Amino acid sequence: MTDPLPFSTRDPESRRALQLDALAAILPMDRRDQLAKILTNDDVATLKHLAKEGMGENSLRALASDLAYLEAWALAATGAALPWPAPEGLALKFVAHHLWDPVQREADPAHGMPAEVAAALAAAGVLRLDGPHAPATVRRRLASWSTLHRWRGQLGPFAAPGLRTAIRLAVRASARPRRRKSRRAVTRDILDLLLAVCATDRLADCRDRALLLVAFASGGRRRSEIAGLRVEQVSDEEPVAFDPADPGSPRLPCLAIHLGRTKTQGADDDARALLIGPPVEALKLWLERADIAKGPVFRAIDRWGALEQRAITPQAVNLIVKRRCAMAGLDPGEFSAHGLRSGYLTEAARAGVPLPEAMQQSQHRSVQQAASYYNDVERRRGKGARLAL
């Protein structure tokens, strides 16, 4: 059907929405209309340029979200659009509005983000919490702001000593405890409970069983990596012995997942994760039952049980984990998809798997981050926290 309105006569917001359609495979299109209201024409042009230059999908998705938030905040806080380049004073105002001391706020209501600014951001649908933001979130948004300056060929205030000092002091004052992305890890015992509620012949059960096993066994893949997994990334490997020390032990099927571009890997990196045994069998059964030979591995299933051609979203991976937790009698608020990642490393530590070997499978770049799960296991086993017993 032909659009009755020529492109040139549409209002600017509609034109931006149509331009955002070109990024439908990357940006969260359930928020397309909201983004079109917040972003400027220059913002959309920048995002299209970054996509053309090959910026990773996850990075671009985060950048678009951060840019929309910054635009909405600037309008609410100053009454004007986000300026390019941004003055140092505006960056300092951003820090003051997002990192503040809750105790001081009780004595001084003007401390932190003004109530009218918070109300405007909440009305725009970009602010979902009360209280100071997580320092990591503020740093990421400042980093995105800085990145966008560089791509526009401009210098921002982000290397200014005054801003760096302000961030350091504000983080200390906010005293916001660091929270893990999943309160509880999906360790092997929890995984077994989730798999037990995927035991019927329903297509959704077959998919979710394969998804949970693949996500966990491949090193705790991120939800975006599971949602974006394609058949072309999966290859058969030679079967391996059940007991590596006994070449005569039964052989187990083996697959390799070629990860491609991830949060910490470039598209040209030859990173891969191996699947051995049950995860391979579950994945092959799913692909056979769903008759999937190419394209997305994990696909949406409608309310009538019919398979769709589109891949599931990262958010859907999270919802699958929570739904299976609820079915297993667990509190879904305690778990998220990231629990599969932390659960893999926690289970590896319990099993005595050397940290470098576990990191090779999980593709963690930060030894400090990966080691934190090992340290937690050791502390729980050790005597240091048991002296009062």
pLDDT, one tens digit per residue, over 134-146 is 888 888 899 999 9
Does one domain contain both 192 and 127? no
Average pLDDT for 198-204 = 92
Q: Is 209 in the same domain as 328?
A: yes
User: DSSP string of 357-372?
Assistant: HHHHHHT---HHHHHH
pLDDT, position 270: 62
| Token pair recorded at residue 246 | 């006994």
CATH code of 321's domain: 1.10.443.10
Segment 205-232 shows an average pLDDT of 92
Question: Domain check: are 232 and 164 in the same one?
Answer: no
Q: What is the pLDDT of residues 11-57, one digit of tens each?
A: 665 555 555 554 544 454 445 555 656 677 677 777 767 766 666 66
Find the mean pLDDT for residues 312-328.
92
170, 198: one domain: no
Q: Is residue 388 part of a domain?
A: no
Tokens 């629990």 locate to 339
- 331 shares a domain with 220: yes
Task: Count CA within 13 A, CB hemisphere, residue 137.
Answer: 17
Question: Given 121, 149, 174, which residue is the final one in a domain?
Answer: 174
Cis before residue 85, ω within 30 degrees of 0? Answer: yes
Domain boundary among 149, 174, 199: 174
Identify whether residues 64 and 135 lie together within a single domain. yes
**Which residues have C-beta within 8 Å of that of residue 159, sequence separation ≥ 6?**
none
Element of type H or E holding 273: strand 272-276
pLDDT grade for 342, boundaries at 50, 70 and 90: confident
Residues 163 and 197 in one domain: no
Same domain flag for 259 and 158: no
Residue with tokens 């918070």: 118
Q: What is the dihedral of CA 35, 223, 340, 197, to 10 degrees?
A: 100
What pLDDT, in 10s, does the model give residues 251-289? 999 999 988 654 445 444 567 888 999 999 999 999 999
Residue 88: what pLDDT? 92
With respect to residue 389, please indicate whether it lies within any of the assigned structural domains: no
The reported pLDDT for the residue numbered 374 is 66
Of the candidates 174, 200, 232, which is a domain's last residue?
174
What is the count of structural domains for the chain? 2
Residue 96 has pLDDT above 70, yes or no: yes
Please name the residues in contact with 243: beta carbons below 8 A apart, sequence gap of 6 or more.
Answer: 249
- Joined together, the tokens standing for residue 46 give 């920048």
- Angle, helices 57-78/115-123, rounded to nearest 10 degrees: 130
Q: Is the pLDDT of residue 119 over 70?
A: yes
Range of the domain at 256: 188-381
Per-residue pLDDT band for 93 (boundaries 50, 70, 90) equals: very high
| DSSP annotation of 296 | B
Has residue 183 been placed in a domain?
no
Residues 271 and 153 both lie in one domain? no
Q: Are residues 30 and 165 in the same domain?
A: yes
